[in-house]
């Protein structure tokens, strides 16, 4: 069974009411939620504070990609809200990632995760922006860069978890979005999706599950299926 703390439910909603309704339905069954740009923009930072106040961990998936000073300011804001994880784009380079890590030092509970390659991207998408590497190669390249910048871990698809664990060793976090139930749909994550059990067996430290739970008739049962690998 997957430990509760390793399964993160993505609150991919366009408003606060739907997000709060799901959190209420899951109750004590879930202790860790992801909030992305859509919900943060719609609901504001108060939702983060509310969840933290309830004892929940919040993963703020901001995918920060700005000048270093702006990234540092956003990371400090995330830390002040009580977030436990925040994301920065590894493609922004060492300066941006190092600025995020430096800002996070003010908040001992905040971990900076570097997004390697968005899970919906393919090799042809990388080629469109002038990158000749495969997705696997680019993920590993950016992960090494992130470790050099002091990041606490990386974001990658379930497909790359094994290779990343082999390169990064046992300590860094490897958080994998694009997680589905066995036989479930990949949603917007495309060919690089995978199951929670496969991702964790390959070396992921956390898995992020979205519509398999949030759109289920019984979210608690669906989350249990994610944890049980059924």
pLDDT tens digits along 189-198 = 555 678 888 8
Per the annotation, the verdict on 63 as an active-site residue is: yes
pLDDT digits (tens, 9 = 90+) for 2-38: 546 789 999 999 999 999 999 999 999 999 999 999 9
Instruction: Look at residue 229 in the predicted model and tell me its pLDDT.
Output: 63
* Contact yes or no for 124/149 (Cβ under 8 A): no
189-194 contacts at long range (C-beta below 8 A, 24 or more positions apart): 189/119, 189/120, 189/157, 190/119, 190/120, 190/122, 191/122, 192/119, 192/120, 192/121, 192/122, 192/135, 192/157, 192/158, 192/159, 192/160, 193/119, 193/157, 193/158, 194/157, 194/158, 194/159
Asked whether residue 169 carries a pLDDT value surpassing 80, the answer given is yes
pTM value is 0.92
pLDDT digits (tens, 9 = 90+) for 53-82: 999 999 999 999 999 999 999 999 999 999
Among residues 16, 25, 63, 165, the one annotated as catalytic is: 63
Does domain 4-228 match CATH 3.40.640.10?
no
Mean pLDDT of the chain, nearest integer: 92
Q: Which of 107, 105, 108, 128 is nearest to 118 (CA)?
A: 128
Query: pLDDT band at 1, cuts 50/70/90?
Result: very low
């Amino acid at each position: 069974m997957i430990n509760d703390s390793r399964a993160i439910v993505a609150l991919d909603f366009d408003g606060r009411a739907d997000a709060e309704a799901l959190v209420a339905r899951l109750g004590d069954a879930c202790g860790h939620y992801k909030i992305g740009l859509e919900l943060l923009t719609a609901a504001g930072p108060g939702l983060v504070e509310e969840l933290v106040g309830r004892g929940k961990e919040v993963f703020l998936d901001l995918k920060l990609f700005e000048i270093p000073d702006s990234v540092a300011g956003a990371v400090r804001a995330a830390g002040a809200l009580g977030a436990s994880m925040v994301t920065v784009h590894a493609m922004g380079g060492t300066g941006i990632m190092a600025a995020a890590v430096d800002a996070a030092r003010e908040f001992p509970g905040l971990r900076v995760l570097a997004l390697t390659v968005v899970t919906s991207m393919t090799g042809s998408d990388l080629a469109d922006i002038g990158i000749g590497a495969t997705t696997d190669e680019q993920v590993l390249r950016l992960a090494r860069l992130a470790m050099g910048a002091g990041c606490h871990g990386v974001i990658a698809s379930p497909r790359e978890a094994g290779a990343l664990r082999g390169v990064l060793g046992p300590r860094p976090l490897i958080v994998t979005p694009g997680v589905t139930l066995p036989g479930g749909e990949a949603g917007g994550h495309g060919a690089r999706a995978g199951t929670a059990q496969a991702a964790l067996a390959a070396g992921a430290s956390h898995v992020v599950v979205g519509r398999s739970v949030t759109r289920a008739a019984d979210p608690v049962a669906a989350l249990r299926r994610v944890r049980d690998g059924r």
